[in-house]
Amino acid sequence: MNYHSKLKSAVAALAIAVPLGFTGMAHAQDAVNLRMTIWSANEAHLKLFNEIAAGFSKDHPNVKVTYESLPFDTYTTALTTQIAGGNAPDMAWIFETAAYDFVNSGALFPLSDTLKATKDYNAEELSATAAERWTKDGKLYAYPFSTSPFAMFVNNDVIKAAGAKTPAEMIAAGQWTWENALATASAVGQTPGKGGLIVRDFNYQVWQNLASVWNGWGASPWSADGKTCTMTEKPMVDALTTIHNAIFKKKAIPGPGENVDFFAGNAAMTITQISRASLLPKEKPFAWDLVPLPKGPAGEYALIGQAGIGVMQAGKNAKTAAEFVAYMTNPENSAKLSQFFPSARKSLLNAEVLKKTNPLLTQEQIDKVVIGGIATGKVIPGHTGFAQIQQAVRSGLDAVWRPDADIAGSLQKICGQINPLLKR
Amino acid sequence: MAVAQDHATPEGRSSSPFWTIARRDSLAGFLFIAPQLIGIITFVLIPLGLVFWYSLHEWNVLANTFTYTGAQNYQMLMEDTNLLEVLGATAIFSAGLVVLNMSLALLLAVLLNQKLAGITIFRTLFFSPVVVSLVAWTIVWGFLLQKNGGINGVLLLVGIEGPNWLREETTAMISVIVVQVFKNVGLNMILFLAALQGVPNELYEAARIDGAPRFKQFRRITLPLISPTILLTSIITIVGSLQVFAQIAVLTQGGPGMSTTVLVYYLYQQAFQFHLFGYGSTLSIVLFVIVAVLTFAQWQMRKRIVFYES
């Protein structure tokens, strides 16, 4: 092949390859891969999420959505490490405790405009109280897809075996108070090998879950504006004194370092979110019940946990990701999601829908615990810089979880530690 | 020389060739150390430089801001009211670990340095925890150390009500140290065993003939002759003790209070939990300085404590 033939061949090859190359590039530019970090690895959850992703891909064939399950215990740490490493996901689930950090930092892409622009989205029906923590300057920064009330699961078998009154009996007699609940827990807790009442996931570390108890005293770790520690005030001292007595004097609550599992049938009662009904044993079942939290000295109350979905501002495809969040949380998909994650959409907060999605619960339980809880419940405490405040309080409360504790003195020290953090 | 002559120009120009023997040798040398050098540069020196650079910044991961703040993080270090407690916990942990680990390792090595049938089984048994996954080992110990866990169960059989090991300040620190010692004592034991077997038998024979008792033989012959190994193991153990993390994360999360919050765990909290990457980097620099000073000091002490070096 002479020089000219070679040149001709090369030009011809280029003439074919270049347009092909550009076509490939154009296709690659259009393809959008979205990644959402989540803390669930539940197969049923993932199946539903993948169905929703497939539904979105029908209208957006160039978009592929994947879910990355991160461990629950270290979720926020793993997420921020990904962000720090320049590998932020496009979308992320966010705990209610970390909501202020994410919303206030500017890490999230505002969703309001996209949600409003989505056909038939009906954004107005999202309960304003549920959206409060996820909103800044009138804009929603993460969608609270799960609003799950805390309630009391009860094992009537062990309570009756201990000769104590069951919560249902106490509710019927109008005596469902913390004092009586702890008396029943104490009767079971003093039986060898059994535990009384377990505040699930508290484990003497996740103290914010104790809000499910101390809210009954009207106690709060800090003021409504979040600027001042209120742990030294009477409601908190009284509530923690009651909890302390229940642990160390009445054996109504398993002590630090004692492991008792309610769902294995070893405890009288546990406070947790209703979604944990899936943990109830199918083999060797026990007679269980689900009741609202007992009345405290400050009256009746409810507590809710939340989870939000946010779109990361740092992502390359933030707008498409916001469109996916709008699709995932539209009325139709919200109804599907509510079988696992109670929705804050008013149209889905009725007994008929909730009965379908929570087949284990009776109509009465749904009315009292779920609808009542979501309507009136306060959200678990949260704050900007929560991880640091959580650690300081956890460390300070270790002094309370001793038989000879000086409760008021320990709370004084905690306030000394966290007041500067609250004011930041 | 022959190689250099091969490269002489055919025209016989007098200019010396570029690839002299010395240059070739040094190139070969650099090529031999290149894999290790590239590894150290990539995974040690560059991260070290970056950590120092980060320590001069406020890095808010969520807000995606990276602002130069000069010595502000170092000033924060001086004003950190928790730091003394953290350094105290680190010192207690390291001292406890080094003393217990070294003495137990030496004791086991001396006991296992016997020519008895089946002695290798015992050597393997004591070494086996070294190859077990650290986190798995710690999780199992976590269950054993619960208030109603295995250890207190055994104690109860002999009528003793055991403490709440991981929930009381003193016992929590002791537990973390002992769990770590049991995990790694086998490694030091093997090193000591190798050193003990290198001590010539004639020296003991001569000492026995001179009527030296067993303890005196140990003090005057064994200890001096294994002193290089003692130095090596002490450096490894001290540096390792300053890097303890998984045990604390799994067993105590730094509690109760701050009693087991050692420096590495504290810097992990600051950087990865509180998102204070700048301040976390500053604490890393503190850790680096402590490790460097201790290693240097031990190296200097070798003249006093090491009786011979090969």
In tens, the pLDDT along B46-87 reads 999 999 999 999 988 888 889 999 999 999 999 999 999 999
Q: Is A67 helix (H, G, I), strand (E, B) or coil?
A: strand
Which pLDDT belongs to residue B299?
81
> Which of B57, B250, B275 to mutate to test binding with chain A, by most A CBs within 10 Å of its CB?
B275
- Average pLDDT rounded to a whole number, residues B197-213: 90
Answer whether residue B230 shows pLDDT above 80. yes
Residues of chain A neighbouring B57 (CB-CB closer than 8 A):
none
Confidence band for A372, pLDDT divided at 50, 70 and 90 = confident
Could you count the other beta carbons within 10 Å of the beta carbon of residue A11? 9
B236 to each of A245, A400, B95, B309, how far by Cα in Å?
48, 39, 13, 18
> Which residues of B are less than 8 Å from A406 in CB distance?
none
Give me the mean pLDDT over the A25-49 stretch: 83
What is the pLDDT, as a whole number, of residue B309? Answer: 56
Task: With a cut of 50, say whether residue B2 has pLDDT above it.
Answer: no
**Would you list which residues of chain A are within 8 Å, Cβ to Cβ, of chain B?**
76-77, 80-81, 83-84, 101-102, 105-107, 204-205, 255-259, 313-314, 385, 387-388, 391, 394-396, 398-399, 401
What is the C-alpha separation between A69 and A67, in angstroms, rounded?
A: 6
The tokens for A198 are 């377990």
Which of A107, A385, A395 is closest, CB to CB, to B63? A107
C-alpha–C-alpha distance, residues A335 and A173, integer Å: 36
- Closest C-alpha to B1, from B20, B18, B16, B15: B20
Which whole-number Å values give the CA distances from A336 to A27, A47, A85, A150, in the listed order? 33, 12, 34, 21
If 0-12 CB within 10 Å is exposed, 13-18 middle and 19+ buried, where does residue A232 land? middle
Six-digit token pair at A356? Answer: 């379908």
Q: Which residues contact A334 (CB under 8 A, 6 or more apart)?
A: A145, A343, A345, A348
CB contact under 8 A, B63 and A77: no
Say what angle helices B227-242 and B169-197 make with each other, to 10 degrees: 150
Partner A contacted by B147 (CB < 8 A): yes
Does the pLDDT at position B14 exceed 60? no
* B98-115 mean pLDDT: 92
Q: Is B61 on the interface with A (CB under 8 A)?
A: yes
Q: What per-residue confidence (pLDDT) applies to B282?
A: 96
Contact A179, A164 (CB under 8 A): no
Residues of B in contact with A386 (CB under 8 A): none
* Average pLDDT value for chain B: 89
Separation in Å, CA A198 to CA A95, A151, A253: 22, 12, 6
Is the CB of B274 less than 8 angstroms away from the CB of A388? yes
Q: Is the CB of B82 inside 8 Å of chain A's CB atoms?
A: no
- Separation between Cα atoms, residue B284 and residue B267, nearest integer Å: 7
Q: How far is B68 from chain A (nearest CA, A)?
A: 17
CA B111/CA B109 separation, integer angstroms? 5
At A78 the pLDDT is: 93
Q: A256 and B147: CB-CB below 8 Å?
A: yes
Average pLDDT over residues A332-355: 85
Nearest to A167 by CA among A157, A156, A158, A246: A156
Give the tokens for residue A289.
């019940």
CA–CA min distance A78, chain B (Å): 8
**C-beta neighbour count of B191 within 10 angstroms:** 18
B62 close contact with A: CB closer than 8 A = yes
All domains in chain A, ordered by first residue: 28-148+305-378 (3.40.190.10), 151-303+381-423 (3.40.190.10)
Alpha-helical (H) ranges within chain B are 2-6, 21-40, 46-54, 72-79, 83-112, 119-127, 134-144, 150-157, 169-197, 201-209, 214-217, 223-225, 227-242, 246-251, 263-268, 277-305
In CATH, what number does B72-305 get?
1.10.3720.10
pTM tops 0.80, yes or no: yes
Token duo for residue A334: 């919200």
Return d(Cα A163, Cα A157) in angstroms, integer.
10
Q: What are phi and psi of A147, to 5 degrees?
A: -130, 95
Q: Give the Cα separation of B258 and B77 in Å (integer).
A: 17
Min Cα distance B281 → chain A (Å) is 13
Q: Rounded mean pLDDT of chain A?
A: 89
Q: Which of A37, A56, A105 is nearest to A329 (CA)?
A: A56
B165 to chain A, closest Cα gap in Å: 8
Instruction: Report cis status (omega within 30 of 0) of the bond before B10.
Output: no
**Residue numbers in B near A388 (CB within 8 A):** 273-274
- Token digits for A1? 């092949």
Among A256-270, A361-375, B211-225, B264-278, the minimum mean pLDDT is found in A361-375
Q: What is the pLDDT of residues A176-231, one digit of tens each?
A: 999 999 999 999 999 888 999 999 999 999 999 999 999 999 999 999 999 999 99
C-alpha A148/C-alpha A131 separation (Å) is 13
Helix count and strand count (H, E) for chain A: 18, 11
DSSP three-state, residue B156: helix
Q: Where are the alpha helices (H) located in A329-379, listed in sequence order?
A: 331-337, 351-357, 363-365, 372-376
